[in-house]
Amino acid sequence: MEDEGTGGLRGDAPGLDGFFERGSLVFVSARTGNDVHGYVCEADGRGLLIDVRDPSGDPGGYEFLPWSSIERVITEG
């Protein structure tokens, strides 16, 4: 039986577990106006910890973003 709410969902659409998996490359837009690009270190009920990369791909430190500050997350893949 098909779920009416997901009738148009692509078969390869990720779930939250795969979407925020450790090592996933993400682009995050925060409500503060900052865009962050990097790899997921950890995601839990409080927010998202990212290994931030600069535009050249070099490490730039770590940033924790609480869920309330995140507007959009895009994964590369």
Q: What is the pLDDT of residue 1?
A: 40
Structural domains of the chain, with CATH: 19-75 (2.30.30.100)
pTM: 0.74
Whole-number Cα distances in Å, 66 to 30, 32, 51: 9, 12, 15
What is residue 61's predicted lDDT score, i.e. its pLDDT?
94
Closest-CA residue to 53 (of 29, 69, 36): 36
What is the mean pLDDT, run by run of 10 residues, along the chain of 77 residues? 59 70 91 89 93 89 94 84
